[in-house]
Amino acid sequence: MTNFRMAELSRRDFLRFTAAGAALTSMSGWFDLMAAHAAGSGVKHKSCILLWMEGGPSQKDTFDMKPGTKDAGEFQAIPTSVPGIQISEHFPKLARHMHHAAILRSMSTPEGAHARAKYYMHSGYREGVGGLTYPSLGAIASAELGREDFPLPNFVSVGKGAYGAGFLGSRHQPLIVTDTNRGVANLAPLDDLQQFGKRLGLLEDLETQFAQAKKAAVVSDHQTTYQRAVTLMRSREARAFDLSQEPAASRAAYGGTKFGDGCLLARRLVEVGIPFVEVFQGGWDTHTNNFPRVKELSREVDPAMSALITDLKDRGLLDSTLVIWMGEFGRHPKITSAKGPAGRQHYPRAWTTILMGGGIKGGQVIGKTDREGLDIVERKISGPDFLATVCQVLGIDYTKQNQTPVGRPIRIVENGAQPVMELFA
Amino acid sequence: MVFPTKATGLSWTWTVLAGMVTFTPCGAALAGDASHKVAAGRLDAPTLTALIDQAIQARLSSEKVTPAPPADDAEFLRRAYLDITGVIPPADKVAAYLDSKQPDKRARLIDELLASPHYGRHMGDIWQELLLVQRDIFSRGLPAEPLADWFAQGFNSNKPWNQQVADLLTSTGTQQQNGATTLFLALRSRDKLTDTVCRAFLGIQLQCAQCHNHPFTTWKRTDYWGMAAFFAKVDDGAPAKLFKGLTPNVVEASTVRTKRLPDSALKSSPRFLGGQTPTLNSNDPYRPVLAQWLTSEQNPYFAKAMVNRVWAQFFGRGLVNPVDNLRDDNLPSHPELFDALARQFARSSFDVKYLVRAICSTQAYQRSSTATKESAEADVPYVSMTIKVMTPEQLFDSLATVLGPPEHPKKGGGKKAKAPSPVSRAGFVEFFRPGEGADQGAYPAGIPQVLQLMNSEWTAKISAFVNRTVRGDRSPARNNEILFLATLSRRPTAAESRRLEEYFQANSSNPTKAYSDIVWALVNSSEFTLNH
């Protein structure tokens, strides 16, 4: 017979649940075990921030400029901190950080339709192949880099739902933060902590009997998820989700936009040890109005990404944090005006991604496209090559095989992928 | 009696099945027993039930495993309600059922549940989820309810399954006119349609063969694109219409459409899987020809695929597992039984309620999910009932049965700025939807879902539920019993009762809060959220 436990919390008036920060006396021993672990022990693994540019950004108007050529577009190319490397004039701040960057101009992938291409670039596998749902990069990072007992989820997606864990299972699904101002939904109990603690005690008692009777994995999974949720509620690390803790100047430096706030949140999450954060920016699918829209988006990315790199550097985190800038494909080197104001169609044949930080050899361009940007003339990089490279930077063995629920072994990255070794010293 | 009453294990099963294989149309071998109503090669539900139990027992015996004991009434009641109607029993039904002394109350319950409109809705939810998995991004704004409603009508009227599928595949019109066209409005390319139709109705994973010959089966690219060609004349209206909130009209055009083909596409005329080419004139409609072939009694996959799905719906695993992967190297756990069920389903004119009734009446279905030492160790299917996870629809409907539906958030929030909860059924389902390919046995919820269940505005409605359910003039013990009946569909054990009384007494200064705590724990428990 279980002994009845009285609520023993001192009565404090908390304005914000996580602002308390002090360890709380638990009403239930079971949840105590989770709380007992040390908060934020040393971050030993690398982290990754994926800046996901949805729609497919135009490389010819951003990072693979072709001044003086046909359809070069409306933007000027400007010099950067690296002699010989030029980028769009609408990234003036980022231009000063190019010595931390590797610009991969020879991406070449097979998918030209959004949904399929997004899936491919997130997972490295073609949608539907083998009837499986492949895990996205974030879920892989969560599985390979995340700590089992970490109070926070190891994969966070900011701004929009991301591709999930597929066959890796629910543990590695992303925590989605749709609105950075609100943070994680439902993190605080409706009533006070005392009430919540009492309820947990009751819940634990009910669970114990049922678990003993049924002895099924699904029951213990349920309990584990509840334990993790409660641990998250009580963790100091959960404060990382609260952007109001940042000084106003800091938020302004990131540009004060939704995307800027997302990048700022990503930095905070990486600071407390989350291995993978994906930040969404939509609008890059510029079939029409290419130039005004790309300009606007670039001017959003510029301060956000620069502030991110600067902040990471200042905190000594740049070498251990890989920042990826990419979309699902690029855009056509030829401008079309068929459907209205000048636009560019999808173009997966030759496009550009950017890697920064993470300990890579920065200040270089990998690969080359021809004069107009129609084809790759040097060093083609496939989707799996790219993902293998990212894994290599993060310290993930890209040849490792995971088991699907039916026991089928699937490599993290497809066989034959070659990481871009030029990035490693 | 036509069949022996004592099961003699394997040999009896073989006799029955062999008898069915060589069955003569007028039932000569079984003549003389009108009560079994065997006619024209078809077994009635009770006979089918016995057949299932025999086959399952045969394997358990041969592996020397004792099955778990029968589920008690409470276990069976909740399970049957969830599996057949998709929702827990309402509180008033629970006590009445548990206390009923009718000897055939389980059979009556099954009949009652099959006759309920919730049966159709539950099946509609299942099939809408199944079919729209691959919906493309353009269709995100397209509601799925019309398809679920369309299916609900078909299942409630027990329209034969072959007829339902044929009607679905050949549907035309706007979504308002015909909810079935949702399929074509959501899956707007012939490769997605081919993947979905083969997976859902034939249990075949054909999608590998889209780009190359299938690595593990004999399906080739030509097979894939031959099947895909049957959808070549579907005209689903321009995507722009969906964006603008207009209603596209699905028609079978007179000529082949050539847009929206992936790079992997092969030019092909329609060809059935297995190589036969239908005789088609260039202006014949294609889809009716596909529908006829697909839903035919002669099609070896069609009946099997549905039998396997329905079986999995109730048992938590298919006779072939994974459910939508009928392959030569993925054998059923009980091959002869599987064949027999498929045959009987086809002969019954694809009568789904017949199949469900037969399954739910088995001892195997009515086995407890409580582990015995033996069942925990044995790895033999159906030794005990598998614990299933509630679908998001089941969870929403069950919570709503207890708490009432969630309210939309008030404008200009209170002192706590809470994130907007997914308050509509569709929003809740979207939020709780498990990842693709997740199986029913794995707990799918992540931290955000659990936070929602613990702390969302909806849980604030617990006190309203408490206020209309408990009574001050009743003892706490009696009130707690009612709370248990309303949530876990059973009475508390003596130990649980004592624990709750202690809790209540310690918190009796605020009875509503005390009872609310109890209800909060009940609806957040695994016993509530799992289908056991």
**Which of the pair, A25 or B264, is modelled with greater confidence?**
B264
A232 touching B, CB under 8 A?
Answer: yes
- At residue A337, the pLDDT reads 85
Taking an 8 Å cut-off on Cβ atoms, the answer to whether B513 and A153 are in contact is no
Q: Is A365 helix (H, G, I), strand (E, B) or coil?
A: strand
- At residue B181, the pLDDT reads 94
Question: Is A421 exposed, middle or buried (CB count within 10 Å of its CB: 0-12, 13-18, 19+)?
Answer: exposed
> Model-level pTM?
0.77
pLDDT in tens, A88-127: 999 999 999 999 999 999 999 999 988 889 999 999 998 7
Q: Is A330 helix (H, G, I), strand (E, B) or coil?
A: strand
Residues 147-176 of B with CB under 8 A from A: none
pLDDT in tens, A178-204: 888 888 888 888 888 888 999 999 999
Confidence of residue A406 (pLDDT cuts 50, 70, 90): low
The answer to whether residue B20 scores a pLDDT higher than 60 is no
> What is residue A17's DSSP assignment?
G
H-helix segments, B389-474: 392-403, 425-432, 447-455, 462-469
- Phi/psi for B484 (5° steps) reads -65, -45
The bridge status of strand A321-326 relative to strand A47-53 is parallel
- At residue A323, the pLDDT reads 98
Please state, in angstroms and rounded to a whole number, the distance separating the CA atoms of residues A198 and A196.
5
Confidence of residue B59 (pLDDT cuts 50, 70, 90): very high
Confidence of residue B208 (pLDDT cuts 50, 70, 90): low
Taking an 8 Å cut-off on Cβ atoms, the answer to whether A170 and B435 are in contact is yes
Q: Give contacts of A153 with chain B, Cβ < 8 Å.
A: 446-447
Mean pLDDT of chain A: 86
- At residue B269, the pLDDT reads 87
H-helix segments, A96-133: 114-123
The answer to whether residue A421 scores a pLDDT higher than 90 is yes
pLDDT in tens, B221-269: 888 899 999 999 998 876 666 556 667 888 888 888 877 676 677 888 8
**Which of the pair, B306 or B238, is modelled with greater confidence?**
B306
Choose among A184, A195, A225: nearest Cβ to B445.
A225
pLDDT in tens, A234-243: 887 788 998 9
A289-to-A70, B338, B413 alpha-carbon distances in Å = 18, 59, 39
Taking an 8 Å cut-off on Cβ atoms, the answer to whether A179 and B419 are in contact is yes
Distance from CA of B4 to the nearest CA of A (A): 35
Percent of residues, chain A, with pLDDT higher than 70: 88
Please state, in angstroms and rounded to a whole number, the distance separating the CA atoms of residues B453 and B436.
22
pLDDT in tens, B316-366: 999 998 887 777 778 899 999 999 999 999 999 999 999 999 999 999 999
Q: How many residues does chain B have?
A: 532
Percent of residues, chain A, with pLDDT higher than 90: 63
Confidence of residue A248 (pLDDT cuts 50, 70, 90): very high
A179 touching B, CB under 8 A?
Answer: yes
The answer to whether residue B499 scores a pLDDT higher than 80 is yes
Query: What residue of A is the nearest CA neighbor of B385?
Result: A214
A377 touching B, CB under 8 A?
Answer: no
The bridge status of strand A368-369 relative to strand A346-347 is unpaired
Q: Minimal CA–CA distance to B425: which of B76, B51, B125? A: B125
Please state, in angstroms and rounded to a whole number, the distance separating the CA atoms of residues A373 and A64.
8
Taking an 8 Å cut-off on Cβ atoms, the answer to whether B517 and A199 are in contact is yes
The answer to whether residue B284 scores a pLDDT higher than 80 is yes
Question: Which residues, in sequence order, are bridge partners of residue A277?
Answer: A49, A156
The answer to whether residue B174 scores a pLDDT higher than 50 is yes
**Which of the pair, B38 or A175, is modelled with greater confidence?**
A175
**Which of the pair, B411 or A300, is modelled with greater confidence?**
A300
Query: What residue of B is the nearest CA neighbor of A2?
Result: B499
B501 touching A, CB under 8 A?
Answer: no
Q: Write the CB contacts of B463 (distance below 8 Å, at least 6 apart in sequence).
A: B512, B513, B516
The answer to whether residue B292 scores a pLDDT higher than 80 is yes
Taking an 8 Å cut-off on Cβ atoms, the answer to whether A4 and B513 are in contact is no
Q: Which of A138-152, A309-323, B19-33, B322-336 has the lowest mean pLDDT?
A: B19-33
- At residue B375, the pLDDT reads 74
- At residue A168, the pLDDT reads 83
Could you give the maximum distance between any two Cα atoms of chain B, in Å?
81
Residues 11-70 of A with CB under 8 A from B: none
Token output for B520: 């909060």
Distance from CA of B55 to the nearest CA of A (A): 25
Q: Give contacts of B441 with chain A, Cβ < 8 Å.
A: 217-218
Q: Do B312 and B266 form a contact (C-beta atoms < 8 A)?
A: no
The answer to whether residue B398 scores a pLDDT higher than 70 is yes
Q: Do B56 and B46 form a contact (C-beta atoms < 8 A)?
A: no
Token output for A29: 């021993």
**Which of the pair, B147 or B254, is modelled with greater confidence?**
B147
- At residue B36, the pLDDT reads 41
- At residue A20, the pLDDT reads 32
Percent of residues, chain B, with pLDDT higher than 90: 58
**Which of the pair, B421 or B477, is modelled with greater confidence?**
B477
Where do we find the tokens 């190319």?
A: A77
A9 touching B, CB under 8 A?
Answer: no
Contacts across the A-B interface (CB distance below 8 Å): 184
Choose among B211, B451, B503: nearest Cβ to A185.
B451
Between the ranges A83-97, A147-161, B177-191, where is the mean pLDDT highest? A83-97
A188 touching B, CB under 8 A?
Answer: yes
Query: What residue of A is the nearest CA neighbor of B204?
Result: A131
Binning chain B into helix, strand and coil, the percentages to the nearest 5 are: 55, 5, 45
- At residue B172, the pLDDT reads 94
Please state, in angstroms and rounded to a whole number, the distance separating the CA atoms of residues B159 and B351.
8
- At residue B1, the pLDDT reads 22
The answer to whether residue A3 scores a pLDDT higher than 50 is no
Q: Minimal CA–CA distance to B531: which of B154, B76, B69? A: B76
pLDDT in tens, A41-91: 455 799 999 999 999 999 999 999 999 998 999 999 999 999 999 999 999
Q: Where are the domains of chain B?
A: 10-68+333-360, 136-294, 388-410+424-531
Taking an 8 Å cut-off on Cβ atoms, the answer to whether A175 and B447 are in contact is yes
pLDDT in tens, B432-470: 877 655 566 677 777 888 999 999 888 889 999 999 999
Q: Minimal CA–CA distance to A207: which of B451, B530, B234, B105? A: B530
Choose among A132, A182, A199: nearest Cβ to B437.
A132
Query: What residue of A is the nearest CA neighbor of B532?
Result: A214
A209 touching B, CB under 8 A?
Answer: yes
Helix (H) or strand (E) holding B234: strand B234-235
Residues 171-210 of B with CB under 8 A from A: 195, 199, 205, 207-208, 210
Helix (H) or strand (E) holding B388: strand B388-389
Question: Is A281 exposed, middle or buried (CB count within 10 Å of its CB: 0-12, 13-18, 19+)?
Answer: buried
Taking an 8 Å cut-off on Cβ atoms, the answer to whether A164 and B435 are in contact is yes
Choose among A132, A218, A228: nearest Cβ to B442.
A218
Q: Which of B12-21, B71-80, B161-170, B318-327 has the lowest mean pLDDT?
A: B12-21
Average confidence (pLDDT) over B33-52: 72
Please state, in angstroms and rounded to a whole number, the distance separating the CA atoms of residues B368 and B493.
17
Question: Residue B372 region, left (φ>0) first, then alpha (ψ -120 to 50), else beta?
Answer: beta
Choose among A133, A206, A214: nearest Cβ to B435.
A133
- At residue A263, the pLDDT reads 98
Residues 304-343 of B with CB under 8 A from A: 322, 325
A225 touching B, CB under 8 A?
Answer: yes
